[in-house]
Structures are given as structure tokens and as C-alpha cells.
Structure 1
Amino acid sequence: MKVLILTIWYPNAENPILGTFVHEQAIALRAYGVDVRIVQPLPSAPFPVTLFKESYRKLAKMPEKEEYEGFQVYHPRYVTLPLHILFERVGDWMYQAIRPLVTRIHQDWPFDIIHAHTTYPCGYAANLLRDRDFPHVKVIHTIHRTCIIDAPNYNRQCFEKVRTALEGADRDVFVSLEGKGLAITYTDGRCETKSEYITNGVNTEKFQLDEADTSEVATLKAKYDSTWNLVFVGYLNERKGIKELLSAVANLGSSGKSKLHLFLVGRNELGSYVDDFIRANGLANRVTLVGPVLHDRVKIWMSFADAFILPSHSEGLPTVLFESLYAGTPSIFTRVGGVGDIVEDGREALLIQPQSIQAIEEAITRLMDSPDLCRNLSTRGHQLIRDNFTWAINAERHRNLYQNIVAATSKGIP
């Protein structure tokens, strides 16, 4: 079985933590005997945009092809503009940009399936490749938050492109039931019979601590043994609830929770906001801005933490949910996206309403004041993920899906 993964999210030199969930899926698929190659189109922008956007200049220096942990990864360039300007045209631009490359790949390596991560623009472009160039190839879309919540709301034309992409896929795979419900609504039910619900997971082998990891965790625990350590992992931006989280930590410190120490692990997308807030509220000894870390170091921070928190305003199904619970870290999540599909409030994690400083304060206080609750959440959270939500389980379900689609095609079944 040969599967070409088409995705805008994949680890690269400019952003080594981008799309780690796609890479983890590829690793698990390979272990199940699926032959995988990756096409990650990289955005390029016309002059003079490149004068003002350093990220575009960095991406321009990346090679057209590289090998990443044993996978062939191709980087064709497609035109896109900042602030989602003309985003309704990006799917067509992507198709035109990647078509010559994909044609060459298919000549040397005739793939059976294009598995697109995002229904728009990647899935839309994959549909065009099948319809115009490779009629025997099947197309699967994995639908994440951005393409089912964000993209349809940019404008009416974007909504129509998303709807068209969903209806055109041979199978739509959703990481959350919320996303599946939205897609069924967008298409007036036309995509329901070809929709699957397959969640993300955790790489259990990679999330084991080796001797060096254990030593590093012990060092961190010794360094911060006098504080109660709360860890956030993710991009530091407004949608992740960072502003509310900082306000909650400031309030709790003022109200007597002096042992609380927050560690922010991830790329800062809020400019000087975090540093300014820390300075203005005297939180230098209570908030540590760790910065971005490689994915294989996330387990260090989760194993060190007394608790984990992800107070997002909106999510699809965050990979860090599976990782923090598998690590046995008592966790707090907002009840958004597919989070409530996986965990039950008070059983495997604490679930709170989004955009509420008070809810964050109350959840943190519950964990700080109840070691028994923390132990119970830790045990049940780990068992839930270990038994039900791993990348191996995800890969097995996808391999079966691939085989069923190809077998149906050979029998003339659409």
C-alpha cells in the first residue's frame, strides 16, 4: 500500500515542531507496513511581501526535497498571502504548484491513495489531482479545526471551497465529533455516509522516559521543589487562552496561592505581552517563559509538572491532551472541540468553560488543594489513553480504511 500524505503541517528546519502529529501518524503507518511519502507544500509570497515577512524568507531557503527520519519529504512552493487574503484561490494555486511534482512522484512510485491533512486547501488540491490526473487514486481528507472552523468563515467563497472539498473526498476522517457535525451541516448531509471518526493519539514508545530523561526530570523537580508547578505546552497566543491564564495566576498569587509556579512551554506569538504582564504584575518568580522545545522534550515538562493546563478558546482535538494524560499529569482543559469526546470532567481531567479567568482559578485551586484528586486523575487519565488512544491504534484504523477503499475500487464499488 503506497500512501502520499499531502499536508501543510510537517516538521521542518524553520519550525521543527510544526505538524508533529502528522509525522507521528506517518511513523505508526510505516510500522503497519504502509509505504509513506510526504508532500509538504511551502508558502511563498510575491515581492514585496517577502521584504516584510521573515518567515517567507526562511522557507525560501529550504530544499525542494529532504529526508526526515526515513521519510522522503518534498517541498513544492505555492502562492499564498498573509492574513488569508484571497484564500479562496489558494486551493487552485496549490494544485497548479504541486501537479508537476506529484506527476513525477507517481511515475516512479505509483501511489494508491492521497491522504490530505486539511480538507482545504490540501484536500481540495488532492481532489483536483485525482479528478484531472490520477483517476484510479483515492483521496482521504483528515479534517482538523482550522479547515472546518476557521477557513469556512473567512468569506462565502472559502465556505464553498470547503464544502466542495468535503463532498469531493472519497472519505472524510474527523478528529472530533464537533468537526464531523459541522461538515454534515455544511454539506446538508451529503458527506455523512463517507465520514469516519478517528482520533489522534500518543506515541507510547517516544513518551517513555529513558535514564537521561528521568535524571532531567529529577533535576527540575529538585530545583522547583518548593513550588507547585503548572505547565502549559503550545503556541503562546490569544486563542490558547494565555491572557486568561496569566490573569488567573496573578489573582491566585494575590489571594494566597504563593506556591503556584507557571511554566509556559512553546513559541511566543504574543510579542512583548507576556514579559510586560509578568513585569507589571510582579510575577518574575511565579511565571517562567521556557520558549519552544523539540517535541521529544515535551514529555520532560509533563513528567515534571504537578499539573498541566490547556485553556484554549477553540480546538479541534489537541495532541497534548493525549500526551499529558498518558504521562499521568493531572490536567485541566477547556470544554472545546473534541475534548469532551475523550475525557469526562472529574474522572480523567478537569473540564472548564473557555475564556473564563474564574474557571481557571477554581480548577487550579481544586488540584492544589486535593492530592487525592490529582492521583485519581493521573491514574485514570493514563489508563484511558494507554488503552484507547495511541498512534498505533490510529494507524491500524487508517490502514484498514485504506485497504477497504482500494479493495472496493478493485470490485468496481464507488
Structure 2
Amino acid sequence: MNILIFTNLFPNPEQPLRGNFVANMVQEVSRLAVTSVVSPLPWFPGLNGRGTGPIRLNKEWGQFSRVPDFSRWNGLDVYYPKYPFIPVVSRAIQPSLIALSVSGVVNRLIEEKKIDVISGHWIYPDCVSAVKIGKKKGIPTVITARGCDINLYGGYRFRKPQIEWALQNAEKITAVSNALAERICRDFRISEKKVAVILNGVDRARFNYISESEKIKDNIGLERGKKYLLFIGQLHEVKGVHYLIEALHILSNRKKLFFETILIGSGPQRMEIEHSIKEKGLAGRVYLKGNKPNEEIPLWMNACDVLCLPSKREGMPNVVLEGLSCGLPVVASRTGGIPEVVNDNNGILVEAQNAPELANALETAFRKDWNREDISSGMEQFSWGKTAKSYLRIFEEVLRGR
């Protein structure tokens, strides 16, 4: 079987950690079938490579402009065709711009590799483009919904009709959680038979419980004997970090902030969050650590005591799966697929955007005696190998049905 992966969410030389949750799955799929990757990226006319040009753009746009058209990633051929895109203005026609701009490289791969199935990841714009290409070339398309691509974009006036068209015209749809699958069927009138749930996996060789947490603290610059709360994610409005800061402020006012907080990640709200930390008197208790190398993340998870993800919306966040695999109890919003993996034995769920409830949950989590070894062993069912085999079964099912 020859598979074409189509998604912007994939590592590139400028962003080696981009779309790791897709890349891990693709790596395992490539062990079972011939796999090529096309990762289309936006290009803004006149961009000078530093993220500036005729209008001010963020750093990511400069990174996109420096990505080569082709690269090798862990033995896989990965193509990064660029498509013209003007922020805001081009959003409604983005799938068509992508389909037109990638036609050269995609047509060549279809001819040379004899592609059997196109596997798209991220419904808008990537999967809409993938379905357009698949229908034109007569190749079945399997598309995967991952969270905000349905939960957020599915409510936008100009995007929803295109998303609905792609969902109706793809041969099969997969979703990373039951909650997301139910929403696809309910909001877009898709038959339940057409949607399959395939959970993300975890690299259990890297994300596992290590009992000597105090020694690990020495290696990453944390103090022995102190308790730590950990957040890992993009510093973006959807991740709800401001609610976490407010919850910590509430605990501080109650004189119950007996732990320190580590924020790992970067994003557009970094300066606002930094200001909020100072304004609420939390400097010296909350630390912005920026991005960390991927290989360090299991160390931080094992060294800290509780993981917090106060997101407004989620699909099936890998940071939760990885934290639990390290035996780290989780305090998270009751949203998306999170309630499907977090329960009373491994964490506490709270309503999103509710700082007082989050504050109470954090205090409870730090006072509870969790069995971290049991939390970790409860995640043995999650592996990228199993996830990849589930995708292969879907691809085979689609091909048999043609």
C-alpha cells in the first residue's frame, strides 16, 4: 500500500517539533506501508524571511518562508510546497489556494509512487484540499479531525460549508476522541458508520514513570523538597493560561499557594502572561521557561507533582496522555476528549474558564496522595504502534470498498 500524508502539521527544518503528534503516527505507519508526506505551508508575497514584509507578521511566517521545498525526516521524503496567502483576506479560499499550488508535486507523487490512499490531518484547510485532490485524481481520501479544526473552525460562517463538504465527500473520517466524533455526526449530519475513533498514542519508551524524582530535579534546575505544578503548551488564549494564573492568585490570597508553577511553551500571549504574573504578585512562584527540547519533557513530567491543562477547547491533547504515562496526576478542563482518559484515579476535571473551581482542584490535587506507578501503568494501552495499525485497517477497509 502507498500512502500520501497531507497536512501542515508536520516537523520541518525551521520547526522541528511542529505537529509531533502527527509525525509520531506517520513514523509508525511508514513501518507498515510506503509513505510520502506533503506539508503545504503559507507564503506571503514580499516576506523577507524574518516574519516582516509589507505588513507585520508573526515569527512563524518568517519560519515558513525559510523552509526548503523538500527535506528528509527520519527516512521519509517530505515536501513543503508553498501557497500564496494573505492573512484574513485569503482565509475563506485557503483550501483552493492550497490545492492549486501543490498540484505539481502531488501529481508527480501520485504518478511515481502509485498512491492508493490520501490521509489528511487537520480538517480546515488541509483536509478540504486533500478531498478536492482525491476527487479530481480518483483516489480515496481518509481525513482526521483533531480538535479546534472542528470545535472552533466548524462554527465559522465561510469555513463551515467547506468543512461539511469535505466530511461528506471523504471516504472515511477519523477523530481523536469520542466527543469529537459525536460532534462531527451531530453538527455536520454525518452518519456514525462513516466516522471511526482512533486515539493518539504515546511513546512509552520515553514517557514512563521514574521513581527518583528528586534526582531528576537536580538535572533540570529545580529544588529538591519543593512541590511543582507543570503546564506544557502554547501560550495562546485557547489554552486558558490566564485562568490558571487567576487560580494561583486566588490560592495566594488564601495563603494556600504551597507549590511553585512551571510554564513550558511559547506563544502570542507570553508578554500578557508575564505581565499578569507580576501584577498579581506571583513573581518568584510562577516561572516562564519557554520551549524545551522534546527529549527533556519526560524529565519535567517526572520531576513535577501535578500537570494542569485549563484549556477552553481540546481534541485529545497528547500532553495529557504523556503526563499520565509518566504517572503525573492531571488537573484539566472537562472538554473534548479529556474526560475519556482523566478520572478520579489519575486526576481532577473542572469546568473550563472557571478560576475558583480550578483553584480548589489544584489545592485538592496537591494534598492528595496519588499512586504515580498505578497512573502510569494505566496508560499501557496507548501506543503509536497501535494507532498506526488502526489507521492501516481503515485504509484497507476503504480500498476494499471501492
**TM-score, normalising length from structure 2?**
0.92
Pick from 31, 47, 64: which aligns with 1:59? 64
The answer to whether the 8 Å contact 1:253/1:260 transfers is no
Q: Shift of the alpha carbon at 1:222?
A: 7.7
Unaligned runs of 5+ in 1: 410-414
Q: Distance in 1 between matches of 2:111 and 2:302?
A: 47
User: For this pair of structures, how many residues does the alignment match?
Assistant: 396
**Which residue does the alignment assign to 1:125?**
129
Q: Distance in 2 between matches of 1:45 and 1:357?
A: 39
SS at match of 1:400: helix
Q: Distance in 2 between matches of 1:127 and 1:223?
A: 48
Instruction: Give the percent of matched residue pairs that are identical in Structure 1 and Structure 2.
Output: 23
Q: Shift of the alpha carbon at 1:97?
A: 0.8
Q: Root-mean-square deviation (CA), in Å?
A: 2.3
Residues 126, 307 of structure 1: alpha-carbon distance in 2 compared, 3 angstrom cutoff: same
**Which residue does the alignment assign to 1:369?**
367
Q: Distance in 2 between matches of 1:395 and 1:239?
A: 28
Q: Distance in 1 between matches of 2:141 and 2:168?
A: 11
The answer to whether the 8 Å contact 1:331/1:350 transfers is yes
**Which residue does the alignment assign to 1:383?**
377
**Which residue does the alignment assign to 2:181?**
180
Q: Distance in 2 between matches of 1:200 and 1:304?
A: 24
SS at match of 2:120: strand
The answer to whether the 8 Å contact 2:348/2:365 transfers is no
**Which residue does the alignment assign to 2:254?**
255
Q: Distance in 1 between matches of 2:143 and 2:215?
A: 39
Q: Shift of the alpha carbon at 1:280?
A: 2.1
**TM-score, normalising length from structure 1?**
0.90
SS at match of 1:88: helix
Residues 349, 380 of structure 1: alpha-carbon distance in 2 compared, 3 angstrom cutoff: farther
Pick from 377, 380, 393: which aligns with 2:386? 393
Q: Distance in 2 between matches of 1:223 and 1:342?
A: 29
Unaligned runs of 5+ in 2: none
**Which residue does the alignment assign to 1:412?**
none
Pick from 75, 98, 101: which aligns with 2:80? 75
Q: Shift of the alpha carbon at 1:208?
A: 4.9
Q: Shift of the alpha carbon at 1:30?
A: 2.5
Q: Shift of the alpha carbon at 1:256?
A: 2.2
1:130-169 equivalences under 5 Å are 130-133=134-137, 135=138, 137-155=139-157, 157-169=158-170
Q: Distance in 1 between matches of 2:281 and 2:378?
A: 39
Q: Shift of the alpha carbon at 1:216?
A: 7.1
The answer to whether the 8 Å contact 1:217/1:303 transfers is yes
**Which residue does the alignment assign to 1:295?**
294
Q: Could you tell me which amino acid in structure 2 is paired with residue 50 of structure 1?
A: G
The answer to whether the 8 Å contact 2:208/2:327 transfers is no
SS at match of 1:272: helix
Q: Distance in 1 between matches of 2:268 and 2:53?
A: 19
**Which residue does the alignment assign to 1:311?**
310
Q: Distance in 2 between matches of 1:399 and 1:330?
A: 32
Q: Distance in 1 between matches of 2:366 and 2:222?
A: 19
SS at match of 1:386: coil
SS at match of 1:351: strand
Q: Distance in 1 between matches of 2:220 and 2:17?
A: 25
Superposed CA deviations along residues 118-175 of structure 1, whole A, max 9, x for unmatched, are 2222222111212212x1x2210001112212222222x3111000000010100011
Q: Shift of the alpha carbon at 1:47?
A: 4.3
Instruction: Considering fraction of residues, name the structure with more helix.
Output: 1
Q: Shift of the alpha carbon at 1:234?
A: 0.3
Q: Shift of the alpha carbon at 1:186?
A: 3.3
